[in-house]
Structure formats: structure tokens, C-alpha cells
Amino acid sequence: MGDGETVWEQLLPSLTDQFTCYAMSMRSRGLSGESSDHSPERLVEDITSFVESVGEPVRLMGWSAGGIYALATAETTDAVSAVAAYEPPAVELMSEDDAGRMMATITRMATVAEEGRMADAVRTWFEFVATDDELAEASSVGLFEALAPNVLVQLREFPQVFESEWASPTDPSELANISVPVLLLHGTQTIPDPWFIDSVCHVDEHVADSRMREITGAGHLGPILEPEAVADELERFFEESAG
């Protein structure tokens, strides 16, 4: 539900002294133009075009679904020299119970959005992926209000992702095609448990050059709520992969 202007705001100050950072907003978010096409295939095409426009090797970071798209982009273009993914969800490993709860959450989110309560709709979605402590902290820093403009975009995107027939980037045959170094991050307090942790382990198992690191005390909102710890892992990995 995020965009480059909000979700990386806490993380960037710990990285910009060491790296040139580009914070991309996906279509219909942030400074990007409006679009009705939010299919995962098109989103990966967008990221690929963005990465290639930089003009030099890019070390790419993605979080949650963005981690999935980052992995897919690494398979698509030689412009990516390394990938870091924070809790990329492998749909193949999702339990029926978690899938049912997710669809029920999306339905509630849509109902709240129809009432015009966009910040509450953001919170509704986060209740599926964030702990109570994370929800309280996210509320205190105004995260729900910051992401509210992207609610309707996200609700348009969900069905296009679910109905797509694209090859899942977390299918073992797809992951085997990734040749660049991959860092897989996860929090120790992440929910849904064990889906996100199982997903990270799954990607680690099938990517040739990967390593896993955990962020102590973090949940799925780690890049926003534990930015320094996440940045430390990114800096260490990206320096190693550059050498």
C-alpha cells in the first residue's frame, strides 16, 4: 500500500551517506501517473524500466510484495547486481486459514473505504500483517494517514494480482534463475506466523546465492519501525556484494 515517498522515509537517512538511493513509487502512487493496469507482469516491467534507467548496476531492495517484484526483476534484467527482500511472501506456502483471513480482511478494508475512512482502511489491512505493538507504533507516527491516499489503488491491485496467470517469482524454477546475491530479511516477531518465515526459508532454499538475516524484535513493519537495524543489514550486504 506504500509508495516511495512514505515507506522509505525512515530507512533512507541511514543509507544515503553510503549509497545513492532511488525510492520508486509504483504506478498510481506518489509521483507516478495514474493507470488502470496493476497486473504483476506490468509492475515488474515498470521496475525493470526504472532500474535500467539508472544507467549503472543497481542493488535493489523490496519489502513484502515489493520483495517478490524485486526478485522477479532480478531474473528479468542484468541491471540488478544484488537483491535484498524483506519478508517476500510465497503464495505457494500460504495456508487455507491465512488465505481465508486475508480475503476477509480485504473485504472489510473495502467496506471501510466505501465509508470514506481511508486511514481506518489502512489499519484494517495492517491488522493482518502487524502485531498489536506495531499497530500502536504505526498509529503514533501517523502511518495510517500517510498511506491513506493509496487505499483505492491497492483495492484495484488486489484482484489483478489474484487473477493473474503469471509465473510466480517464488516458484522454485523461477528462483533458480536468479544468479545475483540475495539477502533475505525477516523479523523475529512477524505475523502471520509461520507464513512469512516459511516464505523466507523457501526463497533461501531455492536461490543459488542467498543468505538470511533476522531483525530482533521486528515484525513485518520492520523497514519503517526498525529502520536502523534493517539499514545495518542492507549496508553490510550491499558492500559485500559490491566486492
Quick: pLDDT tens for 82-113.
Answer: 999 999 999 999 999 999 999 999 999 999 99
Number of domains making up the chain: 1
- Flag whether 123 is in a domain: no
- Flag whether 138 is in a domain: no
> Across-strand partners of 213?
185
Note every long-range contact of 104-111, with CB atoms under 8 Å and residues 24 or more positions apart, other chains counting.
106/155, 106/158, 109/151, 109/155, 110/155
- The one-letter code for the residue type at 126 is F
Q: Which three cell numbers stand for residue 85?
A: 527482500
pTM for the model stands at: 0.96
Whole-number mean pLDDT of the chain? 95
**Full residue range of the structural domain in which residue 186 is found:** 12-94+167-242
Element (H, E) at 76: helix 65-76
Measured N-to-C along each axis, helices 40-53 and 65-76 cross at an angle, to the nearest 10 degrees, of 60
- The one-letter code for the residue type at 158 is F
- Flag whether 107 is in a domain: no
Q: Which three cell numbers stand for residue 29?
A: 502512487
- Flag whether 162 is in a domain: no
- When pLDDT is averaged across residues 152-181 and rounded to a whole number, the result is 94
- Flag whether 117 is in a domain: no
